[in-house]
Amino acid sequence: MKFEAPIPVAAIAQLTGAEVIGNDDAVVLGINEIHNVNLGDITFVDHEKYYDFTLKSAATFILINKKVEAPEGKTLLFHSNPFEAYSTIAKKYKPELFSTKNIADSAVIGSNTFIHPNACIGEKVVIGDHCVIHANATIYPYTQIGNNVIIHANATVGADAFYYKKQKTHYDKMHSAGRVVIADDVEVGAGSTIDAGVSSDTFIGMGTKLDSQVHIGHDVKIGEHCILAAQVGIAGNTKVGNGVTLYGKVAVNKNIEIGDGAVVMAMSAVPNNIEGGKTYIGYPVVEARTFARQVAIIKKLPELWEKLKRL
């Protein structure tokens, strides 16, 4: 998430109670968790295992719970609880918004867009022209929807990211500072759910079609003209290329990439990156041709076992 205007790092330190290590005259341009950081962003790290990775990341500002020397070009903010400090910043500059109306006063609705009864359109939502929002669909605050988009009944767009930090007795929730952005000509099936980004945008590309009961996790980026059949689930921060087809009940892991034009057959699981232009099947997935050979060999195992017993 980029701030509306640059913020002095001294102001961030004052807000969170952090100690600045390095250039205290620098300005912060945005806030992002580690998978999406850019130059000028602030992020956090609170585990020694990830210190080196975070300190070498693109982030310019890092909330950290250990006093170390700031690498060249970076400013550190020492805090005993970086997760809490990060959430404080997110809540300050992307506050949760509430509305007492089905269509919030600050929502912007394009021409020839029809909103069915009982749909809920949150604060600062923008919906383009020639869209249809069906009954009981819920569009959370800050969501951006393009033109010619159809959101079917009971779909939920922009719910909080499923992002928690485990403590000894409970889980601390990360405040969702990202949005959902839906491009033109997208269709979202009935009962589908698209989570907002933790700090960047969850994005659905132009012409992509989601069947009913599809779940898209936080910060997922889906390309153009993809087809996602019923009960597909994609975990957070995964990137799906253009023209990808995921058939029913495909499960996709977090933080991975699916290449352009990939096809994944029903009830398969994608745990790691897969190349585009190929068809996959299985749990975990392999190329369909490999899977066919494996099945052929498995079918022969009883016969081979009988031969072995006779030796």
Secondary structure of 206-265 in HEC code, one letter for each residue: CCCEECCCCEECCCCEECCCCEECCCCEECCCCEECCCCEECCCCEECCCCEECCCCEEC
Return d(Cα 18, Cα 10) in angstroms, integer: 9
The backbone torsions φ and ψ at residue 300, rounded to the nearest 5 degrees and listed phi first, read: -85, -10
In a domain? residue 203:
yes
In a domain? residue 240:
yes
In a domain? residue 37:
yes
pLDDT of residue 300: 83
The answer on 89 and 9 residing in a single domain is yes
In a domain? residue 310:
no
The answer on 269 and 146 residing in a single domain is yes
User: Under 8 Å CB-to-CB from 236, ≥6 apart: which residues?
Assistant: 161, 162, 163, 195, 198, 217, 218, 219, 220, 254, 255
In a domain? residue 103:
no
pLDDT of residue 35: 86
Q: What angle do CA 250, 156, 233 make, to 5 degrees?
A: 10
What range defines the domain where residue 37 resides? 2-93
User: Under 8 Å CB-to-CB from 73, ≥6 apart: which residues?
Assistant: 60
170 is known as an active-site residue: no
CATH number of the domain encompassing residue 123: 2.160.10.10
pLDDT of residue 217: 97
Q: What angle do CA 248, 252, 256 make, to 5 degrees?
A: 150
3-state secondary structure at position 24: coil
pLDDT of residue 311: 77
Q: What is the pLDDT along the chain (311 residues), one digit of tens a residue?
A: 999 999 999 999 999 999 999 998 999 999 998 888 999 999 999 999 999 999 999 999 999 999 999 999 999 999 999 999 999 999 999 999 999 999 999 999 999 999 999 999 999 999 999 999 999 999 999 999 999 999 999 999 999 999 998 889 999 999 999 999 999 999 999 999 999 999 899 999 999 999 999 999 999 999 999 999 999 999 999 999 999 999 999 999 999 999 999 999 999 999 999 999 999 999 999 998 898 888 888 888 888 888 888 87
Take residue 37 and report the two structure tokens written for it.
């950081």
The answer on 128 and 235 residing in a single domain is yes
The answer on 59 and 186 residing in a single domain is no
Given the residues 79, 152, 215, 218, select the one marked as catalytic.
218
pLDDT of residue 293: 86
| Residue 30 host element (H or E) | strand 27-31
* 3-state DSSP helix/strand/coil % of the chain, to nearest 5: 15, 30, 50
pLDDT of residue 285: 93
pLDDT of residue 271: 97
The answer on 116 and 88 residing in a single domain is no
To which residue do tokens 């017993």 refer? 309
In the sheet with 75-78, reading across from the earlier edge strand, the strands are 2-8, 27-31, 41-45, 61-64, 75-78, 19-21
In a domain? residue 308:
no
In a domain? residue 299:
no
3-state secondary structure at position 47: coil
To which residue do tokens 């609705």 refer? 109
pLDDT of residue 187: 98
